[in-house]
């Protein structure tokens, strides 16, 4: 039982940090749009990895920049970057995740 709680705690910590959890897309809806994306220099390609670009994460009432990072490649899938979409007067955040195809 303690091991299960530890695993659940780790998954919750990752989700709270705005990092993608395999198979689960984190969605947030708020009234405040993100600032303009920062310009990042994308490093040279790295075998076996794909680049996940930086994005604005919502954290305790304000936007916080998360720098881009490498994600281990998943064959048969493609990486969908984290993004904000304006829908009416609300902003919807979808965390980066893998999709088949």
DSSP 52: E
Q: What is the CA 40 to chain-centroid distance, rounded?
A: 16
Q: Is the pLDDT of residue 6 over 70?
A: no
Q: Is the pLDDT of residue 24 over 70?
A: no
Q: What is the pLDDT of residues 26-72, one digit of tens each?
A: 789 999 999 999 999 999 999 999 999 999 999 999 999 999 999 99
Domain boundaries, the chain: 2-100
> What six digits make up the tokens of 18?
């705005």
d(CA 54, CA 67): 4
d(CA 55, CA 81): 8
Q: How confident is the model at residue 14 (pLDDT cuts 50, 70, 90)?
A: very low
Mean pLDDT of the chain: 83
Q: How confident is the model at residue 3 (pLDDT cuts 50, 70, 90)?
A: low
């Amino acid at each position: 039982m303690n091991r299960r709680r530890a695993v659940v705690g780790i998954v919750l910590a990752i989700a709270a940090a705005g990092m993608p959890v395999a198979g689960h897309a984190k969605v947030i809806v708020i009234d405040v749009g993100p600032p303009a994306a920062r310009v990042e220099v994308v490093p040279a390609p790295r075998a076996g990895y794909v680049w996940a670009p930086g994005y604005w994460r919502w954290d305790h009432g304000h936007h916080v920049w998360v720098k881009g990072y490498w994600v281990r490649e998943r064959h048969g899938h493609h990486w969908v970057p984290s993004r904000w979409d304006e829908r009416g007067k609300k902003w919807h955040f979808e965390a980066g995740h893998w999709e088949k195809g």
